[in-house]
Chain A
Amino acid sequence: MNTDYTFQGWLGKDAKSVEGNMVWEEFQPKPFTETDVDIKITHCGVCGTDIHTLRSGWSPSDYPCCVGHEIVGTAIRVGRAVSNIKVGDRVGVGAQCSSCLKSDCEECSAGLEHHCPRFVATYNAHHTDRSRTYGGYADYWRGPGAFVVKIPDGLTSAEAAPLLCAGITVFSPLKNNGAGPGKRIGIIGVGGLGHLGILFSKALRCDRVVAISRTGIKKHDAQAMGADRYIATDEEKDWAKSHSRTLDLIVSTVSSPKMPLGSYLKLLRTNGQFIQVGAPEDVLPSFSAFSLIAKGTKIGGSQIGSPKDIAYMLDFAAKEDVRPWVQERSLKEANQAIVDMEEGRARYRYVLVNEANAKL
């Protein structure tokens, strides 16, 4: 087995890297152990978190950092203790690359690895051996095989990539909160996460899917994705009143501290739930306790899912023909891609293609 490949990728050196200033350099991955897998990366989705991290938006980032956590490629080296993956498998890894996996960990032993107190992010974090984690805007990735999932045959690599973070981030709250026949779902924001929220809600056979956005620009696309209704909150007067009490579950993918949260809550029926997945760089807008008390409603949050959840979602997507709307960009143009992402131009997810590796 050829193990003399070098780990090189797009590195952000400081907060200004987000403006299109990542540099292509070598980096030192964690030392390989028998529980690890090396992936030759062919595709990597561009996620909003990549932007927040390059910019140190949520907290200071640990530079140099290599972002990208919607990684798909081929397993080229598999540690002896890894049983779920073989060399040559088409595989992926999302936003989490490790947890403690101990039997006395309440979360890991309950299939909630993504809530383990020793959660390790795929980039901008550290493994327990103190080595840094690096993401997928690169040629190769190395990490624990327990967090590597097989990509089902029914999905192309470009389609599978965004599901590994964006997809699971909307699929989990839909599934965990009963989205399905009889339910009316609202999806706030029609972007990378939001468009997948619409596609998955339809695939889960919800009675009605309502796309909620600021302007009508995305209405046509939302309908093509399967939305039954569309609310343009900057354009429809008194929308909160006319659509009041019409939704059982809302998944909110937007992350502006100015979002009209009180009005969104009006859309919920009795005992309805509002699940926030987009993470603002500031506090959520304040709201009155009565908004929750009067209708027995709840506001929750959700992030990604466990490896088992991700595997289930990928199989579901393949079976139900859930096809993310991706736009392929060359990995060589990653800097331009992140600038375009920040400008809101993606329709609806950029996937960086490592052309050299994809030519296998």
Chain B
Amino acid sequence: MSSDHKFEGWCGLDKDSVKGQMKWQPYDPKPFTDTDVEIRISHCGICASDLHTLRSGWGQTPYPCVVGHEIVGRAVRVGAAVTHIQPGDRVGVGAQSGSCLRPECEECASGIENHCQVSNTNTYAGFFPDGSKSYGGYADYSRVPGHFVIRIPEALDSAAAAPMLCGGITVYSPLKREGCGPGKRVGIVGLGGLGHFGVLFAKALGADEVTVISRSSAKKEDAMRLGADKFIATNEEADWADKYALSLDLIISTVSSPDMPLEGYLGLLRVRGTFIQVGAPEDKLPGFLAFALIVKGCKIGGSAIGSPKEIQEMLHLAVEKKIEPWIQERPLKDANQAVVDMNNGKARFRYVLRNEKHEA
């Protein structure tokens, strides 16, 4: 198997890269070991995290960086110690590409590798234990630890699978864990890439009713076409917080504004309801009264991605329930423009960069 792939991709060199100034250039991936897999990338979803990282919004990014962590392609080189992947398999990798995997690590040993404290590597702008930097999927090839590489089910298109690897799992994991299913009334705040997956997965898991909560009614029609049962436009219905109070068992919030009406959202919860924040603001969450939680015995939590096993489970559900994400393919060569359009909120609802040099 050829191992002389040229690792080249769209590199962010500084904060201005997010304005459409990434440069196509070579970079040095981690040294290949027998626990790694190399992927010839055909598709890569654009995630808001890509923008936050290009912009150093969450902290100083170690430039140069290659973003993109919704990667799908063909395994073209498989380390000898990797047993679940064969060369030629159609595979993907999401936002995490490394954890310690030691038996004495409570998190890794209990299947929540995404919470490993010992050694946790992001798919891009992160560092492996050997000190090498991790590079993402706006590129030709990806080289990552095989443990985090997932086989894509045959019945699932690569373009549909790619955004599930970060956007999808980030909402699927808390929906599943918090009991989304028959008998539950679920709310999804924000109808963007993550939010639209929230609606699709909440319905697929069997929730009785799904309500989309957005600022304006611009996305109402789309919400209903995705399968939502109700829609609340918080900037348009003056008394929404009172009108819909005590109506939802579980809310997944995908928005990331420090101005969001958090107390109003908490008011929507039924007794013992739960609000899970997955969108990460670049600032603190708005303040709220302790009473908002105390009186109804409610909880507010957070969630980030999921483990490889959860991702696998989610992909199988997607096949079983014929989930069709709303994606818009963009050629990889137009990545800079796609990033600008993503930043301007134009995606309906996920851009997937298509590396046209490589077959799907």
Contact = CB atoms under 8 A, between A and B. Distances in A.
Interface of A: 58, 106-107, 112, 115, 117, 245, 255, 270-271, 273, 276-280, 282-303
B304 A293 contact: yes
Contact of A300 (B117, B256, B277, B293): B293
Contacts of B293: 276, 299-301
A273 B299 contact: yes
Interface residues of B, number: 37
Contacts of B287: 283-286
Given A117-B246, A288-B284, A292-B277, A303 B297 contact: yes
Given A296-B302, A296-B304, A115 B296 contact: yes
Contacts of B278: 293
Contact of A286 (B256, B284, B304): B284
B1 interface: no
Given A270-B112, A296-B303, A283 B289 contact: yes
Contact of B271 (A112, A278, A284): A112
Contacts of A287: 284-285
Given A270-B112, A277-B294, A301-B290, A296 B285 contact: no
A109 to B, nearest CB: 12
20 contacts: A58-B291, A112-B272, A255-B290, A278-B290, A279-B291, A280-B290, A283-B289, A284-B290, A286-B287, A288-B283, A288-B284, A289-B284, A289-B302, A293-B280, A293-B303, A299-B299, A300-B297, A301-B291, A303-B295, A303-B297
A286 B284 CA distance: 6
Contact of B280 (A117, A289, A301): A289
B271 A115 contact: yes
Contacts of A107: 271
Contacts of A285: 287
Q: Is the interface of A mostly helix, strand, loop or mixed?
A: loop
Contacts of B261: none
Contacts of B281: 288-289
Nearest to A285: B287
Contacts of A293: 277-278, 280, 302-304
A276 B292 CA distance: 11
A283 B284 CA distance: 14
B297 A295 contact: no
B115 interface: yes
Given A283-B287, A292-B277, A301 B303 contact: no
A270 B294 contact: no
Nearest to B174: A296
A245 B117 contact: yes
B297 to A, nearest CB: 6
The 5 closest A-B pairs by CB, nearest first: A292-B302, A301-B293, A301-B294, A293-B302, A298-B301
